[in-house]
Structure 1
Amino acid sequence: MKDLFSGHSKIYAAFRPDYPEAVYQHIMRHVKHKAIAWDCATGNGQVARALAHYFERVEATDISQQQLDNAYPSANIYYKVSAAEQTPFHDHQFDLITVAQALHWFDRDKFYKEVKRVGKPGGILAVWGYALLYIEPAIDDIITNFYSNTVGPFWDDARRLVEQEYKTIEFPFPEITTPKFSIDVTWSLEHLAGYLESWSATQKYIHKHQANPVSAVVESLRKHWEPAEIKTVSFPVFMRMGVI
């Protein structure tokens, strides 16, 4: 099990973007019953919080207790530490199983076997993630250089699956066509800096060099970002959905 986020769970919780409501609305159109959902690799509970508005009960698991310590509280969300590939759940419990920005870390063969065990026949598995952000060309060039060159050597190999938008992964479920989505947020330069610092590759860089590379990026970005200016930041969202 790869746990790349426990050491900076508070940063992760503070600066990661939320998914648009359109993502959940699309998923819910295909979910027949809304008794219980499982949000796997919930992190700080972003998806679990959204699912709690639709389902009577949400089970939310993660391998990181530190992540769960920073998760959103809700009366109908039940957080627990568990691997994706082996859970304490009963057979055929869940109407919906979700994985956001985490499938690339799993042993997918074992996870899919667990999905078939705990998911209800006819239930839905929805997995998704988001690609590298874009703002405007001059800023995008600086961030792309940071992503590819400065912290590029520190990305786990699994990151390639995100870059490929999960198109190359095996997905052994009858598939449902999904549209393109986008996360669109308005951020200050300071918030963007916090997001860049939350990257697992950035944290690996900091651990090795005992220096934060985001500081240099921020100085370069100041040429294109006025003090106190708020800019629109967009993340392309990709998704795969299937029937259990």
Structure 2
Amino acid sequence: MAQRHFEGKAHAESYQRYRVSPPQQLIDEVLNFLQKRIQGQLDLAVDVGCGSGQGTELLAPHFITVVGTDISAAQLEIASAKDHAPNLCYRECPAEELPFEDESSDLVTAMSSAHWFDHPRFLREVDRILKPGGCLALLSYTMDFELEYGESTPKLNEICQEFYTALFPFRKAYIGSSSLQVYKKIYDSVPYKDKEWHECHRSRTIMPLSRFIGFVETFSTYQSFLEKDSVGAKRLSKTITDRLLDAMGASSADTEVVVVLKYFYILASKPQKS
């Protein structure tokens, strides 16, 4: 059964404010994989579980039409309200019931969302809507983000590990102890012979410390803690922020740090018709 999360308006707004887009290099790898299997014009890309559209937007220059889908009306309202390319639109639907014709899509992506899907049903839908030679790309990252800030780096990551450890008990049972393992199971379930598993692509993003904290707060572990004990969750965020600032020798949460994300991803191509 698919899981439903990130649907409230407040959470959708924070998702838009704090979540990061996949690195362009990773999008380029997806496109290179696809263009080796489908030559010429690329008609349709479908980004499933698109949230507020940070990743969906990166596909627009490469396809005639790009459609982001999500089950959350609040997420899609925010995505649609942003300035976006005229060939990009959004549709509300489950990942397991995609409103596209058979063999109509060149690419189906899911960026940091596939772990919530009903995987057998989703993969059947992917196979139904992909053209022969069309590709599936599932991207995500591990939750052990690293911070870099000069000589303070080792201490910052000790504190970050304490943050993640404190949130771990609130992890959804559906995805178990490791999303990496969830995606490896999905990879094993993809029925195509032409498929690749990749880890780990390290991506460095500069952002204010406050945004890093906000980023972590968008995740289901923190949101579950917030629902159970809002005072405790907010206290944890403030304590971690204060300790990080102290280790950095900084006074403002606007101070920029380097955040390192470790991506892993699946690329697979539907067989051409014989």
TM over 0.5: yes
Q: CA deviation at 1:234?
A: 0.6
Q: 7, 20, 24: which is aligned to 1:21?
A: 24
Deviations 1:31-90 (A, max 9, x none): 224111000000111121000011110011000011111214331112011101112211
Say whether the 8 Å CA contact 1:22–1:181 is kept in structure 2. Answer: no
Task: Give distance in 2, aligned partners of 1:52 and 1:146.
Answer: 36
Segments of 5+ residues of structure 2 without an aligned counterpart are 148-152
Say whether the 8 Å CA contact 1:59–1:79 is kept in structure 2. Answer: yes
Q: Secondary structure at the match of 2:108?
A: strand
Task: Give distance in 2, aligned partners of 1:55 and 1:195.
Answer: 29
**1:98 paired to 2:106:** no
Range that drifts further, 17-26 or 223-232: 223-232
Say whether the 8 Å CA contact 2:115–2:182 is kept in structure 1. Answer: no
Matched letter for residue 114 of structure 2? L
**1:154 paired to 2:170:** yes
**1:143 paired to 2:145:** no
Task: Give distance in 1, aligned partners of 2:178 and 2:131.
Answer: 27
Q: Secondary structure at the match of 2:140?
A: strand
Q: Secondary structure at the match of 2:184?
A: coil
**1:216 paired to 2:229:** no
Say whether the 8 Å CA contact 1:43–1:67 is kept in structure 2. Answer: yes
Say whether the 8 Å CA contact 1:62–1:81 is kept in structure 2. Answer: yes
Q: Give the structure-2-normalised TM-score.
A: 0.83
Aligned to 2:92: 81
Task: Give distance in 1, aligned partners of 2:17 and 2:197.
Answer: 32
Q: 205, 211, 231: which is aligned to 1:191?
A: 211
**1:69 paired to 2:88:** no
Say whether the 8 Å CA contact 1:129–1:165 is kept in structure 2. Answer: no
**1:36 paired to 2:44:** yes
Q: CA deviation at 1:3?
A: 2.3
Q: Secondary structure at the match of 1:6?
A: coil
Range that drifts further, 128-137 or 100-109: 128-137
Range that drifts further, 166-175 or 93-102: 166-175
Say whether the 8 Å CA contact 2:197–2:265 is kept in structure 1. Answer: no
Q: CA deviation at 1:159?
A: 5.4
Aligned to 1:134: 146
Q: CA deviation at 1:25?
A: 1.0
Task: Give distance in 1, aligned partners of 2:184 and 2:113.
Answer: 15
Q: CA deviation at 1:151?
A: 1.6
Q: 184, 196, 203: which is aligned to 1:176?
A: 196
Larger radius of gyration: 2
Change (3 A) 1:139 1:165: farther
Count of aligned pairs between the two proteins: 243
**1:55 paired to 2:63:** yes
